[in-house]
Amino acid sequence: MYKILEKREIAMRNTWYKIYAPHVAKKVQPGQFVIVRAFQNGERIPLTPVMWDREEGWIVLIVFTRGKTTMRMALELSEGDSLLNVAGPLGNPAPMEKFGKVLAIGAYTGIVEVYPIAKAWQEIGNDVTTLHVTFEPMVILQDYLENAVSRHIVEPVKLDPRFDFKVNMKYVTKRLVEKVRELLESENWDLVFMVGPPGDQKAVFEVVREFGIPMRVDLHPIMVDGTGMCGACRVRVGGEVKFACVDGPEFDAYQVDWDELIHRVGFYSKMERIALERYLEELKAKGVI
């Protein structure tokens, strides 16, 4: 059992969990992740430790509420409660190399994964600029990033109440692509790194490819066990099947089969929507919402 030492909402649909998990805190490196199971018979979800203290034994997870499990966590868990399992650290650490001038991009909560990597790259001598593009009420970690890297750019996009969340996301993608193009045209870069939804990663990659700049990406395929045994997170990279959990999560953007990845991440969206709708019906029946 992994005690929740601190829980607070830090932005719209973003919740901060400080978890006592000494075995993770002792070994985790930037770029790695954990698999969390919060409830009995609940699903396993991959999450990124954003911060940690090796002596005190805690890690910080920032969780975006997007489906049944993450909504249950936001509504049903409190400080003092515990998560059932926190497995990890998993995946390969990000390479700690001197790349030079780096543009590290986080779309939506992708900035959560960018933070520890960008901070570590800056500390070993890189000149790191971070870019966060998201909806205005979902801006997070701004102070932390401003103190961690050479320059932190926030591009907030207003939510248009006339449209649903999915339609609004197109405005984020548009602003993201515009800003990346502006930065690539005005400055010289040695590496671009990005974390975010695969569709946005592909859109940014298409711009970066025009400039011929090396680009690395952390991928978010469907993931179950995080150990390479289930095969759910397979992605095609350089024509070969790779498993994001044990071969990644970071890959060369030029080698990723983006269309296959985008197709695969939508396999269970209908079932995920049904599970969330049923949970919302339960909450309504109980008078919670």
Check which CATH number belongs to the domain holding 55 and give it: 2.40.30.10
Higher confidence at residue 266 or residue 235?
A: 235
Residues 6 or more apart in contact with residue 19 via CB below 8 angstroms: 2, 3, 4, 5, 58, 59, 60, 61, 83, 86
* Residue range 152-181: mean pLDDT, rounded: 92
DSSP conformation class of 137: G
Contact 176, 133 (CB under 8 A): yes
User: Are 143 and 191 members of one domain?
Assistant: yes
Residue 283 lies in a domain: no
Check which CATH number belongs to the domain holding 217 and give it: 3.40.50.80
Residue 164 lies in a domain: yes
* Residue range 244-267: mean pLDDT, rounded: 93
Position 222 pLDDT exceeds 90? no
CA dist 102 and 132 (Å) reads 14
Residue 136 lies in a domain: yes
User: Are 113 and 190 members of one domain?
Assistant: yes
In the numeric block, which tokens belong to residue 21? 């998990």
Domain termination residue (choose one: 90, 113, 148): 90
What's the pLDDT band for 289 if we cut at 50, 70, 90? confident
State residue 22's pLDDT score: 97
Q: Which residues are annotated as a binding site for [2Fe-2S] cluster?
A: 230, 233, 245
User: Are 255 and 114 members of one domain?
Assistant: yes
pLDDT tens per residue across span 114-150: 999 999 999 999 999 999 999 999 999 999 999 999 9
Residues 6 or more apart in contact with residue 122 via CB below 8 angstroms: 128, 148, 149, 150
User: Are 20 and 160 members of one domain?
Assistant: no
In the numeric block, which tokens belong to residue 17? 């969990």
Residue 286 lies in a domain: no
**What does pLDDT average to over the chain?**
94
The CA dihedral of 31, 28, 52, 44, to the nearest 10 degrees, is 80
pTM, 2 dp: 0.94
Residues 6 or more apart in contact with residue 163 via CB below 8 angstroms: none
Position 161 pLDDT exceeds 90? no
| Amino acid sitting at position 250 | E
User: Are 48 and 108 members of one domain?
Assistant: no
Position 76 pLDDT exceeds 90? yes
State residue 226's pLDDT score: 85
CA dist 179 and 20 (Å) reads 38
User: Are 80 and 134 members of one domain?
Assistant: no
User: Are 120 and 18 members of one domain?
Assistant: no
> How large a percentage of the chain has pLDDT more than 90?
82
> How large a percentage of the chain has pLDDT more than 70?
100
User: Are 129 and 208 members of one domain?
Assistant: yes
Residue 107 lies in a domain: yes
Q: Which residues are annotated as a binding site?
A: 230, 233, 245
Residue 152 lies in a domain: yes
pLDDT tens per residue across span 79-121: 999 999 999 999 999 999 999 999 999 999 999 999 999 999 9
Name all contacts of 142-149 with Cβ < 8 Å and 24+ positions apart: 144/115, 145/111, 145/115, 145/118, 145/119, 148/115, 148/118, 148/119, 148/122, 149/104, 149/118, 149/119, 149/122
Residue 272 lies in a domain: no
Residue 289 lies in a domain: no
Crossing angle of helices 198-211 and 258-265, rounded to 10°: 170
* Residue range 250-271: mean pLDDT, rounded: 92
State residue 119's pLDDT score: 98
Q: Which domain holds residue 201?
A: 101-266
User: Are 195 and 113 members of one domain?
Assistant: yes
Considering only CA atoms, which of 121, 106, 133, 92 is closest in space to residue 194? 106
User: Are 114 and 227 members of one domain?
Assistant: yes
User: Are 245 and 145 members of one domain?
Assistant: yes
Name all contacts of 181-188 with Cβ < 8 Å and 24+ positions apart: 181/207, 183/103, 183/129, 183/131, 184/103, 184/208, 184/210, 184/211, 184/213, 187/101, 188/101
CA dist 190 and 198 (Å) reads 22
User: Are 214 and 262 members of one domain?
Assistant: yes
* Residue range 43-60: mean pLDDT, rounded: 96
If one counts the domains in the chain, the total is 2
